[in-house]
Structures are given as structure tokens and as C-alpha cells.
Amino acid sequence: MVTIIETRNVWKTYGIDTPRRVDAVRDASIKIERSKVTAIGGPSGSGKTTLLSIIGLLIRPTQGQVVIESIEVSRVSELYRTRLRRNKIGFIFQSQYLIPQLTSIENVALPLLCTNTSRSKAEEQARKILLEMGMEDRADFRVAELSGGEQQRVSIARALVRSPEILIADEPSSSIDKTLTHELLETIRSMVSEKGLTVIVASHDPIVLDWADIVMTMSDGEIISE
Ligand SMILES: Nc1ncnc2c1ncn2[C@@H]1O[C@H](COP(=O)(O)OP(=O)(O)O)[C@@H](O)[C@H]1O
Ligand SMILES: [Mg+2]
């Protein structure tokens, strides 16, 4: 087993020194294995999104350490964390909507355009990943003209366009039906076996939990089982 990410005694407390203080993550020490799918289950409010946000370098823990490929990232500069996040991590978060008026290609190319890649180069790369997703004949359709499953694949393509080593997905099946869920999981699985992608997914969907290689469960901010 090769550990790609480790959290050591990580805590996240929101609203410290206020009456609304919440320990969203309590003393979480976990190891994420490279090129495997790790699912984090547990009821709503148990701290899954917060833990994913810490692992994905979106927020810093209140206490504890986060180690990604042997680098202790909880205390390094914001600039360094941003670079690491951009180079290594792709996200499928519920709040990251596609832009319906833009085409699939344009949506997928967006993260590259944010980093000084030329438009033609960005679109070339976007086209390549859409092809890998079996979406070549939908590349120039506007997202508004696509089915739910196709839109889902565009989101994955956008998360993967920079070839991240790690994919973090928060409740990826929450707004799609069972058939689309199976399709989505199959697409992600092929990226794991073909590219060695490491996947961390938060979900309370039994389909997703069954599909994962490793399942951890959270309850009231704590990892209660692995
Ligand atoms: N930005 C925030 N500010 C204050 N409290 C938060 C914030 N985000 C989450 N919480 C609280 O932290 C707890 C865990 O939330 P969350 O990580 O979203 O759990 P889950 O994803 O399992 O539903 C909840 O009690 C929630 O209300
Ligand atoms: Mg959540």
C-alpha cells in the first residue's frame, strides 16, 4: 500500500469563540491509498464535506497535520497550497456548476484558461479528454443541450483536464438517477485503472459505497470505522 495523503489528528472547528461553535471534524487520522477509490460515508452533517475540503486544500484545519506526498501542507503558504491544488487535485463538488451557455469544450477548457494556457491549446486538451469520455460527438454542443449523464461526464472531464493525480468528489450521485450513477462510477473507475487516479468520494449513496475499494464512516465529526 502506498499512502498519497495522510491526515494526522485533524480538527476543524467553525465559529470558535462564538455560541455557534461546531467541531465539524474531530481528531481525524486517516491514510488515503494511491490509485484506489476511498469513500467517506456517514449522515448529513457528519463532517464529510469539511474533511474533503481539508484534504483538497480548500480550507486549513484548526489543528493537526495534512501530508500530501510527504509534504506537510497545513502550514505552508497559500500560494504554495494553490499551486499544489491546481497541479494535483481535480474536484467534482456540488456547487461547481457547468456554464450552460458554453459548449462542452469551452467548459472543460476553463480551468486551463485560468492558467495562461492559450485558447487553442486549452481546447485541444479539452477535446482530447472529452474523446476519452466518449463525448467527442457532443464536444461542440452547448451544455444546456446535453442530457444529465452527458453533463455529468463534462463535469468529470473538467475536473480531469489538468491530469490531476487526485480526484475529490462530494456527493457525486446526489442529483442523478441510478443508471447515470452507474455510468458515472464506471467512467471514474476506468480513470483509476488506466491512469492510476486516486479518488476520494463523500457519499451516503449505497451504490457509491459498494463500488469503492475502501470505505470510511464519519459520525459527528469523527471517523468511526474503516
Ligand atoms: N462554513 C461553515 N461554517 C460553520 N459551520 C459549518 C460550515 N460548514 C459546515 N459546518 C457545520 O459543520 C458540520 C459538518 O458539516 P459538513 O462537513 O458539511 O457535513 P456533511 O458533508 O457530512 O453533511 C455541520 O454541523 C455543519 O453545520
Ligand atoms: Mg456534505
Q: pLDDT tens for residues 107-148?
A: 999 989 888 889 999 999 999 999 988 899 999 999 999 988
Ligand 1, atom 17, residue with closest C-alpha: 47
CATH architecture under which domain 3-225 falls: 3-Layer(aba) Sandwich (3.40)
The residue type of 108 is V
Res. 62: pLDDT tops 90? yes
Task: Give the model confidence (pLDDT) of 142-180 as tens digits.
Answer: 999 998 888 888 998 999 898 899 999 999 888 778 888
Res. 1: pLDDT tops 90? no
Give the number of the ligand closest to the Cα of residue 171: 2
Report the DSSP beta bridge partners of residue 8.
65
* pTM for this model (two decimals): 0.91
Give Dmax (Cα) for the chain: 54
Question: Residue range 24-51: average pLDDT?
Answer: 97
Residue 76: pLDDT band (50, 70, 90) is very high
Res. 46: pLDDT tops 70? yes
Ligand 2 geometric centre to CA of 124 (Å)? 34
Q: Which of 22, 23, 200, 209 to mutate to test the pocket of ligand 1 (most atoms within 8 A of CB)?
A: 22
SS3 88: helix
Ligand 1, atom 27, residue with closest C-alpha: 45
Average per-residue pLDDT for the chain = 92
Ligand 1 atom nearest 42 alpha carbon:
22
Ligand 1 atom nearest 46 alpha carbon:
22
Give Cβ neighbours of residue 87 (< 8 Å, ≥ 6 apart): 162, 164
